[in-house]
Structure 1
Amino acid sequence: MTIKPLASDELLTTTRSVRKRLDLTRPVPMDLVRECLDISLQAPTGGNRQGWHWIVVTDTGLRKTIGDYYGRSLRAYYDSGTAAGQLYQDDPVRGATQRRVSDSAAYLGEHMGDVPVLVIGCIAATGGLPPGNQAGLWGSLLPAAWSYMLAARARGLGTAWTTLHLAYESEIAELLGIPADVRQGVLVPTAYYTGDTFKPAARQPLDEVLHVDRW
């Protein structure tokens, strides 16, 4: 597979959540997904436990069922009043961006089951989820999921970080035969993308979020 000649800074700043631009009609070779996941396994993990597991869903029926759960969760999210498009309405520029994000998220919610590959990142949680701050657990999965997304971007694949399926985690676990002591952390739809341009997103200036020594 030919890897796009992206410098590290470009790769890191232009790996965007791809929703409307996912090509729902073009198959994604399993070998390519495996290549991206193999790279993701080089991510750091607490205590070198490597407790991650990856469910790659390509079956049409399973994708449709997961997509139905995701769509149901998305509709509840929009009805909650906390969806992205309802934030920052007092800021014309940022509000417009939020509405675009919300619109693309709604599109993905309608088509999640049509995406050719769904990758669910999981982590072993023997004894259940720990009480209190769970950063130590999820910090052993989420960097690897991001590495997968970066590897996919370099290979012409689009992805999006999603978690709304977790409202139906137990139902999806039963559907896919995921053991009770393995918890899902992220659902990454994966497909070739349409178009060929990505650019850095508008973000808050660093000085608005940077704290040196004290808050």
Structure 2
Amino acid sequence: MTIKPLAPDELLTTTRSVRKRLDLTRPVPMDLVRECLEIALQAPSGGNRQGWHWLVVTDAGLRKAIGDYYRRSLRAYYESGTSAGKLFQDDPVRGATQRRVSDSSEYLGEHMGEVPVMVIGCITATGGLPPGNQAGLWGSLLPAAWSYMLAARSRGLGTAWTTLHLAYESEIAELLGIPSDVRQGVLIPTAHYTGDTFRPAARQPLDEVLHLDRW
């Protein structure tokens, strides 16, 4: 597999959530997924525990079942009135962006079960989720998941970060045989992408969110 020669800054600023441009018909070799996960395992984790687990789902029946749960969760999300498309409606620029995000999210929701590979990042949580601040737990998984997405981008794969499946976490855990002391943190649909127009996204100006020494 040819790795795109992307400079670090370009890789970091052009790795986007790919939803509409996932190739739903082209298989993704498991060796390619393994390469990306090997890179993900180099990410930091609290105490170097490396308590993560990576469930790679390729079976058509399991993907369809997860896709069905995901679609149900997405519909509830849209009916709640808090979806991306409802945000910043009074801002013509950001509002238009939010509507595009919402549209692409809806498309992915309808086709999630057709994505050739689903990667579910999990972490051991013996005794259940800790009370109060859980940053230490999830901070030992999510950097590795992002590293996976970066590695996928450089190998011609599109990914998207989503957690909507967690509304049915227990059902999906039973479906996939996930132990009770392992919790799911992220679902990353993975496929070859169509098109090649990745570029940095519009973001809030740094000075609007930067605080020096004090808030």
Question: How would you bin the TM-score normalised by the shorter chain?
Answer: over 0.9
Q: How does 1:1-215 map to 2 (within 5 A)?
A: 1-215=1-215
CA distance in 2: counterparts of 1:89 and 1:138, whole angstroms: 31
CA distance in 1: counterparts of 2:24 and 2:75, whole angstroms: 21
CA distance in 2: counterparts of 1:108 and 1:118, whole angstroms: 13
CA distance in 1: counterparts of 2:82 and 2:51, whole angstroms: 33
The alpha-carbon deviation at position 113 of structure 1 amounts to 0.2
Gaps of 5+ in 2: none
The alpha-carbon deviation at position 32 of structure 1 amounts to 0.2
CA distance in 1: counterparts of 2:62 and 2:94, whole angstroms: 37
CA distance in 1: counterparts of 2:10 and 2:197, whole angstroms: 12
Give the residue type in structure 2 aligned to 1:138: W
Give the residue type in structure 2 aligned to 1:214: R
Give the residue type in structure 1 aligned to 2:106: A
Structure 1 residue ranges (4+ consecutive) displaced by more than 3 angstroms after TM superposition = none
Give the residue type in structure 2 aligned to 1:17: S
Residues paired across the two proteins, number: 215
CA distance in 1: counterparts of 2:181 and 2:201, whole angstroms: 37
Superposed CA offset, 1:6-37 (max 9, x none): 00000000000000000000000000000000
The alpha-carbon deviation at position 43 of structure 1 amounts to 0.1
CA distance in 1: counterparts of 2:110 and 2:83, whole angstroms: 16
SS at 1:81 equivalent: coil
The alpha-carbon deviation at position 69 of structure 1 amounts to 0.2
The alpha-carbon deviation at position 169 of structure 1 amounts to 0.2
CA distance in 2: counterparts of 1:60 and 1:67, whole angstroms: 10
CA distance in 1: counterparts of 2:42 and 2:61, whole angstroms: 32
The alpha-carbon deviation at position 195 of structure 1 amounts to 0.4
Identity of counterpart residues, as a percentage?
89
What's the TM-score once normalised by structure 2's chain length? 1.00
CA distance in 1: counterparts of 2:183 and 2:168, whole angstroms: 12
Give the residue type in structure 2 aligned to 1:105: S
The alpha-carbon deviation at position 2 of structure 1 amounts to 1.1
CA distance in 1: counterparts of 2:37 and 2:71, whole angstroms: 26
CA distance in 2: counterparts of 1:110 and 1:133, whole angstroms: 34
Give the residue type in structure 2 aligned to 1:82: T
The alpha-carbon deviation at position 67 of structure 1 amounts to 0.2
Give the residue type in structure 1 aligned to 2:143: P
